[in-house]
A and B are shown apart, each in its own frame.
Chain A
Amino acid sequence: MSHENPETIADQAREWLAEYIVKKDDLKPKDRLAIPSQEMPAQDPIERGKNLDEVALGFTMEQARLEALRCLQCKKNTCVDDCPVAIDIPGFIKHIADGDMQAAADTIKESSLLPSICGRVCPQETQCQEHCKVGMALKDIDKGVGIGRLERFVADWERATGNIRVPEVKPATGKKVAVVGSGPAGLVVAADVRREGHDVTIFEAFHKMGGVMRYGIPEFRLPNEIIDQEIDTLNKMGVKFQTNYVVGRTRKLTDLIDKDGFDAVFVGTGAGLPYFMGIEGENLVGVFSANEYLTRANLMKAFDKKESNTPIYESKKVAVLGGGNVAMDAARMALRLGAEKVYVVYRRTEKEMPARNEEIEHAKEEGIEFHFLRNPKRILGTEDGRVKAMEVLKYELGEPDDSGRRRPVVIEGSEFMMEVDTVLVSIGNGSNPLISQTTPDMSVNKWGNIKVDEKQKSSINKIYAGGDIVLGAATVILAMGEGRRAAKAINEQLANELAVQSN
């Protein structure tokens, strides 16, 4: 995959669509498989390395309809089974092929309230798109129907109309629900619970809403304006927001129920303390967790070096440790902040990288260098304690480990030096300690993640949890799936209570 001019992509799509649209109702599966799969138009790789604007530009109308025509409308739709929120995927795609975008938007919204976010950041290739028959027939998952891209197209189309339909809210029930954390899990719970007529307040520790979508995922992947718009929809539904409020500290979790009269609480506090490698030199100046680096750049606006009062480290040569989406975000952010060289250092190979293919490809196009089967041994500093180099060991792949991936094995004596001034550590997170520290009755596992039952209910009555605080580091859509399940259980609990009250 290499970068193609968006105009060329658009022109081609226009031509192809003209050819196929006239016979759209007579297309045989063989014909559909022959329709070229649509590339996502993107900003020029060199240009985008200097700005924070979104990299992926979104399908044109012609591309969307053409891509939608590739869908076989299977009777047994495995794509829906693999979607954590079970969107009627063939249904909305059919509407796009037919040119009825409003119907497509409405279909998605029956299951997902945040399509403009999911369409951008979901790992479709391991979910809906993984078992797409089109991709299977063409023996390439990437050639499956671009479900996420179509979802994004529909959501953006609706946003552009300026007339986003606000979901209907049932009459007030008098029940109050607290949602702790405004990340993807919390937003889904807020929406689903509010729709049933319950009063909902979201408590957020930061000064802005959105959780990891705001502080972690950079604007070049998920623009703030998209998050603002989703929050605005919740606002229009009557959801209340309380920022700068740390549940566990500003108020004990159980006090929300015992003192403040909430009938149920959802805990979606997300990931916590970043892991470090535990190697020599890790506390040198110039070693940061990807979380810190991204939070400074995104939430605290340190990207705007002139206006923001939050500093960000000036780097020339940056090593990013890790192979996940957060590592890709950190590497690409470092580039945008002016680094001359950015290296991703990963101890396995490209195949084992947990990051999405699209992110890896984008990073490569932008000039980020990947060093596979490499892992740092120690970080070396200057006299005043600033990073100057990293000693790195070479690895080879051995037998598969517990995760099924081949275990990287160190090659003894393979040490070499890598000259860097900044190291961004992106090897995952522990759980957020605040709730468990201040809520002694809450059952957590040995990693500090909250234990829940199949309905997302915690060990404390009326308290539910979901997202990274339960799963460890996962994805936006898995958090949303958990939020959906928790909301269902909360709505059931409250409906039962209301039924008892009226008897």
Chain B
Amino acid sequence: MSRIIHKEQLSKDVFLMRLEAPLIAEERKAGQFIILQTDEDLGERIPLTIADADEDEGSITIIFQVVGKSTNDLSHLNKGDDIPVLVGPLGMPTHIENFGTVVCVGGGIGVAPLHPIAQALKKAGNKVITIIGARNKDLIILEDKMKEIADEFIVCTDDGSYGRKALVTEPLKEICKREEKPNMAIAIGPPVMMKFCAETTRPYEVFTQVSLNTIMVDGTGMCGGCRVNVGGEVKFVCVDGPEFDGHKVDFDNMMMRLNSYKDFEKKKAHECNLELEVAKKEAEL
């Protein structure tokens, strides 16, 4: 059980929460994730990357986007409420060393897990070039925090409502073309964005690490639901990942698998919209 000690809304569908979790705060490293359930009996297990941790306070920070019934339930919890199931830290930590120059690319909610990695890379002595992007201005998160640790900072939106009007792959390509090519790239965001970041860097042979958020149940290497094809081999995101060489990941298969339960999710989302409507109507009466 874990108490919510802070909650804020970062954008329309994106929330930040600080959760009481002293053991996880002590052990976690950049790149790792947790799994939580909002209901011990009937809740779904939601994997979320740890965005930050405060060992002194004994807390971790999660940032999540409401995408379905379970994340919607989570967004309705408030400061002082308890999350009945919280387990972690899971997954392999990011390998951090001084690589030289690293381009950190974050798309939408993916900026949240990118933050601790960029922070650790900076601390290890890397030159950090950061690109963050989103569909529109409202969906840009953690801009100040990312800016603070970047040697070079680019923000872009698909619709041009903020920063440069471009997809993140555009500035990424420009950086790859520079005389002094980056030593490495890290891309975290929606699967399709990570796929195209990997395609962008491939011709320049810039090693590109991606962090995958697949369907998962136990998160400890028992169920195999999170399997992905990496360089022709079956890998398990929960114990072999979540980070992999983006040039080797079969993104098309992964995106297909992410849609395994889309009918169920639609139905649940519909039900929860209905409930919200009913609640609204009741409040009006």
Contact = CB atoms under 8 A, between A and B. Distances in A.
Nearest to A269: B220
B220 A296 contact: no
B43 A244 contact: no
B224 A291 contact: yes
A251 interface: yes
A311 B261 contact: yes
B265 A246 contact: no
Given A291-B224, A308-B42, A250 B84 contact: no
B229 interface: yes
B27 A251 contact: yes
Interface in A241-266: 244-246, 249-251
Q: From B27, B86, B223, name the one whose CB has the most chain A CB atoms within 10 angstroms.
A: B223
B23 A207 contact: no
B27 A292 contact: no
B222 A295 contact: yes
A292 B87 CA distance: 18
B87 A273 contact: no
A10 interface: no
Interface in B189-244: 217-218, 220-225, 227-229, 234, 236, 239
B66 to A, nearest CB: 14
Contacts of A270: 222
B222 A432 contact: yes
A285 B86 contact: no
A311 B265 contact: yes
Contact of A309 (B70, B92, B220): B70
Nearest to A204: B87
A434 interface: yes
Looking at A245, A300, A313, A314, which has the most chain B CB atoms within 10 Å of its CB?
A300
A207 B224 contact: no
Interface in A420-457: 432-434, 437
A127 to B, nearest CB: 26
A274 interface: yes
Interface majority SS (helix, strand, loop, mixed), chain A: loop
A91 interface: no
Interface stretch (B11-19, B145-153, B175-183, B251-259): B251-259
Interface string B69-85: 11001000000000011
Interface in B87-118: 87-90, 92
A289 interface: yes
Contact of A276 (B218, B224, B257, B261): B224
B260 A313 contact: yes
B87 A434 contact: no
Contacts, number: 126
B223 A291 contact: yes
B88 A249 contact: yes
A331 interface: no
A384 interface: yes
Max chain A Cβ within 10 angstroms of own Cβ: one of B23, B218, B259, B268: B218
Nearest to A296: B217
B40 interface: yes
Contacts of A251: 23, 27
Given A250-B27, A309-B70, A385-B256, A432 B220 contact: yes
B31 to A, nearest CB: 13
A175 interface: no
Contacts of B92: 437
B42 A304 contact: yes
A246 B88 contact: yes
B256 A300 contact: no
B42 A384 contact: no
Nearest to B225: A292
A14 B44 CA distance: 48
B220 A205 contact: yes
Which secondary structure dominates chain B's binding surface? mixed
B224 A273 contact: yes
A361 B41 CA distance: 32
Given A251-B27, A273-B236, A311-B265, A432 B221 contact: yes
A283 interface: yes
A286 B215 CA distance: 13
A193 B227 CA distance: 38
A288 B85 CA distance: 25
A206 interface: yes
B263 interface: yes
B132 to A, nearest CB: 29
A245 B260 contact: no
A208 B92 CA distance: 24
A289 B263 contact: no
Contact of A300 (B24, B44, B221, B229): B44
A291 B219 CA distance: 13
B219 to A, nearest CB: 8
A40 interface: no
B27 A249 contact: yes
A307 interface: yes
B218 A283 contact: no
A423 to B, nearest CB: 13
A285 B41 contact: no
Nearest to B226: A292
A204 to B, nearest CB: 10
A294 to B, nearest CB: 9
A284 B229 CA distance: 11
| Interface pairs A-B: 9 shortest CB-CB | A385-B256, A292-B223, A311-B264, A311-B261, A289-B224, A309-B44, A244-B87, A274-B224, A292-B225
Interface of B: 23-24, 27, 37, 39-45, 69-70, 73, 84-90, 92, 217-218, 220-225, 227-229, 234, 236, 239, 250, 253, 256-257, 259-261, 263-265, 268
Given A250-B87, A433-B239, 8 more contacts: A205-B220, A273-B224, A284-B256, A288-B224, A300-B217, A304-B42, A314-B264, A437-B92
27 contacts: A205-B220, A206-B218, A207-B37, A207-B40, A244-B86, A272-B222, A273-B221, A273-B239, A274-B222, A274-B223, A283-B257, A285-B257, A288-B224, A292-B224, A300-B45, A301-B41, A309-B43, A309-B69, A310-B42, A310-B43, A311-B265, A314-B264, A385-B257, A432-B221, A432-B222, A433-B221, A437-B92
